[in-house]
């Protein structure tokens, strides 16, 4: 373990698995205290144990990002325990199944749920945690997607909306010297992606990358570490693609 982030606090939503777990392990291994938030309590317990096994420290909190009340309760708990929050990683999101197969015929209730989790939840959580982020002159990382650049699915549309919010948040939070950026991953090799994308489609999308190896969760976590480090401290108000130079960003159609 290095001490790059010793004494700093990082909150990761969707920390039970996949990209969220990779973020937690990357920051925990560098000395940060990691706050995990997710609806999957068993997965969070596993992530917490992995962070601690690597020499870091972590806490876990159940939170449904579709619920404004649960977001507010999470923020209240975090603010009571941590007057400073150095990094908020809005990683939780819906990205498999119907949300990734188009957008007609969903109905208002599904649209509201998808937007609540993928777009509005990150905004509400950042707003609620603003005092702690301001105290640390912290960083908000919103997890976007390459799908946001050619949004042909409900998933891509919710992430395109999050991109717009990311720029607006950067402008609004700047008064407190809080930065806000987005990371837009390509098709990364995570358990959820492997289970949710058919093998022929996986190979088709991978073949469109200029970088021929498959992207990993660690690639995204490493970008987040850079953005949160002194070396990345002049980056703000940007959506940064990490997709191996994929030539078609319409993702999974």
Residue at 94 is within a domain = yes
Tokens of 64: 């449904």
Beta-carbon count within 10 A of 176 CB: 14
Mean pLDDT, to the nearest integer, of 144-158? 94
Q: What is the pLDDT of residue 1?
A: 59
Q: What angle do CA 85, 119, 209 make, to 5 degrees?
A: 95
Round to whole Å and give the CA distance between 30 and 81.
21
**CATH code, domain carrying 194:** 3.40.50.720
Is 33 within the bounds of a domain?
A: yes
Query: At 204, is the pLDDT very low, low, confident or very high (cuts 50, 70, 90)?
Result: confident
The 10s digit of each residue's pLDDT in 70-127 is 999 999 999 999 999 999 999 999 998 999 999 999 999 999 999 999 999 999 999 9
Question: Tell me, what's the pLDDT at 191?
Answer: 76
High-pLDDT (> 70) share of the chain, % = 96
How many domains are contained in the chain?
1
User: Cα separation of 71 and 119, whole Å?
Assistant: 13
132: tokens are 């702690």
Pick 180 or 200 by higher pLDDT: 180
Judged by phi (left if over 0) then psi (alpha if -120 to 50, else beta), residue 209 lies in beta
pLDDT in tens, 32-60: 999 999 999 999 999 999 999 999 999 99
pLDDT-above-90 percentage for the chain:
80
Whether residue 108 lies inside any domain: the answer is yes
Q: What pLDDT does 135 receive? A: 98
Compute the average pLDDT of residues 200-221: 86
Q: What is the mean pLDDT of the chain?
A: 93
The pLDDT of residue 34: 98
Q: How confident is the model at residue 251 (pLDDT cuts 50, 70, 90)?
A: low
Q: Domain for residue 2, yes or no?
A: no
Domain interval for residue 36: 9-242
**247 within domain boundaries:** no
* Residue 148: inside a domain: yes
The dihedral through the CA atoms of 91, 93, 96, 101 has a sign that is negative
In a domain, 234, yes or no: yes
- pLDDT number for residue 246: 84
With a cut of 70, say whether residue 170 has pLDDT above it: yes
pLDDT for 31 beyond 60: yes
Q: Is pLDDT at 203 greater than 90 in this prediction?
A: no
Q: Whole-angstrom Cα distance, residue 26 to residue 9?
A: 13
Residue 252's pLDDT is what? Answer: 52
Q: Is residue 253 part of a domain?
A: no
């Amino acid at each position: 373990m290095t001490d790059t982030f010793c004494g700093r606090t990082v909150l990761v939503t969707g920390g039970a698995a996949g990209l969220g777990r990779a973020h937690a392990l990357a920051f925990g291994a560098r000395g940060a205290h990691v706050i995990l938030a997710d609806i999957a309590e068993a997965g969070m317990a596993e992530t917490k144990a992995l962070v601690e096994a690597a020499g870091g420290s972590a806490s876990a909190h159940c939170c449904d990002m579709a619920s404004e009340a649960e977001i507010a309760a999470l923020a209240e708990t975090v603010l009571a325990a941590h007057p400073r929050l150095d990094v908020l990683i809005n990683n939780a999101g819906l990205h498999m199944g119907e949300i990734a197969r188009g957008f007609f015929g969903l109905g208002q209730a599904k649209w509201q749920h998808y937007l609540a989790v993928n777009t509005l939840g990150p905004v509400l959580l950042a707003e609620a945690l603003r005092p702690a982020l301001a105290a640390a002159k912290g960083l908000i990382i919103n997890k976007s997607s390459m799908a946001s650049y050619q949004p042909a699915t409900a998933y891509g549309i919710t992430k395109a909306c999050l991109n717009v919010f990311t720029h607006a948040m950067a402008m609004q939070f700047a008064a407190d010297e809080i930065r806000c950026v987005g990371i837009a991953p390509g098709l990364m090799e995570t358990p959820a992606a492997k289970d949710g994308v058919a093998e022929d489609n996986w190979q088709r999308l991978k073949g469109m990358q200029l970088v021929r190896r498959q992207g990993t969760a660690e690639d995204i976590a490493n970008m987040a570490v850079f953005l949160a480090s002194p070396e990345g401290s002049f980056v703000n108000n940007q959506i940064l693609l990490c997709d191996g130079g994929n030539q078609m960003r319409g993702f999974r159609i």
